[in-house]
Amino acid sequence: MENNILFHLLNLIFMLSLGFYLMQNLQWYNYSLIRIVTKHSKPYWHFIYLALPVILFFILGNYFYIYLIIHIALLVYWYYKLDKKLVWTNRIKRFFVTYIIFLVIDFVVIIITDMPDYFSFVALIIAMITSRVGEYAIMRQYRKLAEQKLSFMSNVKIIAITASYGKTSIKNFILAILNKQYNTYATPRSVNTINGIIDDINNNLPFSTDIYVVEAGARKSGDISKISNLLNHQYAVIGEIGEAHIEYFKNIENIKNTKYELLESKRLEKLFLYKDNETPPINSKIITFPPEIKDIKSDLFGSSFSIKLDDKFYEFSTNVLGEFNVINISVAILVAYSFKIDIKDIQKSVKNLTQVEHRLEKLELNGKIILDDSFNGNLNGMRESIRLSSLYKDGKKIIVTPGLVESNEENNRKLAKLIDNVFDIAIITGELNSKILAQNINKAQKIIIKDKVNLNNILASFSQRGDLILFANDAPNYI
């Protein structure tokens, strides 16, 4: 009897380990089982930490619990090496409370009825289903609360922004310029999903807000439609549309159609549209950007340019790096201008803009120049960060990159050629694009590391004072 109870307790530990592995992966992939099966960059993890132990559980019987020691040790070591660990959100806590309750019930039933231990898998399945249904019900209620709050804040102006590239930067630039005259609030960091926006409205959006700036992202058709139906924004910004997330959308047309779901707002008054995008058939006023721009200068010290507004050119300068950011700033200028902010005040605000964190952010550390472009994952943006790196002449140039993650082999080949023409050392992180990049980088010294645990030691060995290090894109090590 005592041995049976011990085996049942070990079975509980095993089942908790499976639930932990599943929730870690589900959190990475936005709680989509389909995505962790079809989109995971390291599917062999599923075999090592999920499929193999389950198979051995059924084959070995009670001898499995000898292997359980190995399984737990492997899982702990795997988790220790992760750079993006499980965040204990309320959703995660609710799942484990539910799961533990079902496991305890299962434990009691197995002991009383002498049912086999594999009955515990029923607890995992029921907990997963209960969690999914419960979270859906909770989010429906949260959405109603968010709608009520926005309805109460009837005078707030809402600006919704989407793009394949640069939407977070555009959001931050608009916020910084409008904030000088209006009480402006924006979704924090890279929050851009319907659930994230609902949470932001309920918990963070001040009632005193004049203008609410919202970033809208998508991984599938319908994602932005949900955001539009929630916000019913008066202003929309649709930036450049390209191949970002092409693996999810399959083609550019699907990406475009999803981005244009931003136009479904019932209160839309004005659209700021990137000039190369297709003009949609809507009744709202359309302002294309960038406007006419001349005298663009962008180097490692900042950017300057002149923009034409109402038939007159106005000069702007900023500490923000990157020619593509001139375009991002230009739409922020147009938005501010449409809100009747004086051009001199806009010029001052642009002058004081700061680089968005992890997006071509220039730092100096231990005598080295660091270009932190780790949140930029598109070819055009990386092309500009590489161009800026090429301007540096005082030391070695080193790039640290996993390549383009949500893209294709052709774009990674193009990236490799750009790297080869500029950098002395290329440190390729992760396994996803290591082969294609290594095959196409011929002149630069190549260093391939499977994960980033030893990255600091490698950089210390291969760099010195006066060198430039570009962090171009930064994929977590599960990719």
User: Tell me: the pLDDT tens digits for 268-284?
Assistant: 999 999 999 999 999 88
| Domain-embedded: residue 21 | yes
Q: Which of 14-18, 147-151, 165-169, 325-329 has the lowest mean pLDDT?
A: 165-169
Q: Exposed, middle or buried: residue 50 (CB in 10 Å: 0-12, 13-18, 19+)?
A: middle
Q: What is the mean pLDDT of residues 55-66?
A: 91
Q: Which residues, in sequence order, are CB contacts of 205 under 8 Å at separation 6+?
A: 149, 153, 185, 212
pLDDT of residue 1: 46
| Domain-embedded: residue 24 | yes
Instruction: Look up residue 393 and give its two tokens.
Output: 């002449």
DSSP string, 13-68: HHHHHHHHHHHHHHHHTTT-HHHHHHT-S-THHHIIIIIHHHHHHHHHGGGHHHHH
| Domain-embedded: residue 146 | no
Residue at a domain's end among 138, 172, 196: 138
pLDDT of residue 451: 75
Q: Which residues, in sequence order, are CB contacts of 161 under 8 Å at separation 6+?
A: 167, 170, 171, 174, 213, 214, 215, 216, 236, 237, 239
Residue at a domain's end among 105, 138, 171: 138
**pLDDT band per the 50, 70, 90 thresholds, residue 3:** low
Say what the pTM is.
Answer: 0.88
Residues 372, 340 share a domain: no
* Main-chain dihedrals φ then ψ at residue 286, nearest 5 degrees: -115, 125
In the predicted structure, residue 438 carries a pLDDT above the cut 90? yes
pLDDT of residue 474: 83
Residues 434, 311 share a domain: no
Q: What is the mean pLDDT of residues 29-50?
A: 91
Q: What is the mean pLDDT of residues 435-450?
A: 93
**Alpha helices (H) along 89-166:** 90-113, 120-152
Average pLDDT, the chain: 93
Residues 289, 234 share a domain: yes
Other C-beta atoms closer than 10 Å to the C-beta of 38 total: 11
Give the structural domain span for 409: 361-472
pLDDT of residue 287: 97
In the predicted structure, residue 116 carries a pLDDT above the cut 50? yes
**pLDDT band per the 50, 70, 90 thresholds, residue 407:** confident
Q: How far is CA 79 from the centre of its chain?
A: 21
Residues 229, 366 share a domain: no
| Domain-embedded: residue 478 | no
Residues 454, 311 share a domain: no
Which CATH number do you get for residue 285? 3.40.1190.10
Q: Would strands 468-472 and 368-373 be described as parallel, antiparallel, or unpaired?
A: parallel
Quote the percentage of the chain above a pLDDT of 90: 78
Angstrom distance (rounded) from CA 92 to CA 454: 30
Q: What is the mean pLDDT of residues 120-137?
A: 94
Which CATH number do you get for residue 432? 3.90.190.20
Instruction: Look up residue 376 and give its two tokens.
Output: 């930029």
Q: Exposed, middle or buried: residue 314 (CB in 10 Å: 0-12, 13-18, 19+)?
A: middle
Residues 377, 297 share a domain: no
In the predicted structure, residue 115 carries a pLDDT above the cut 80? no
**How many separate domains does the chain show?**
3
| 479 SS3 class | coil
| Domain-embedded: residue 356 | no
Q: Which of 15-19, 108-112, 180-184, 372-376 has the lowest mean pLDDT?
A: 108-112
| Domain-embedded: residue 145 | no
| Domain-embedded: residue 333 | yes
Residues 322, 205 share a domain: yes
Residues 376, 282 share a domain: no
Residues 371, 327 share a domain: no
Cis peptide before 206 (omega within 30 of 0): no
| Domain-embedded: residue 143 | no
Residues 82, 189 share a domain: no
Residues 330, 310 share a domain: yes
Residues 346, 380 share a domain: no
Residue at a domain's end among 351, 383, 408: 351
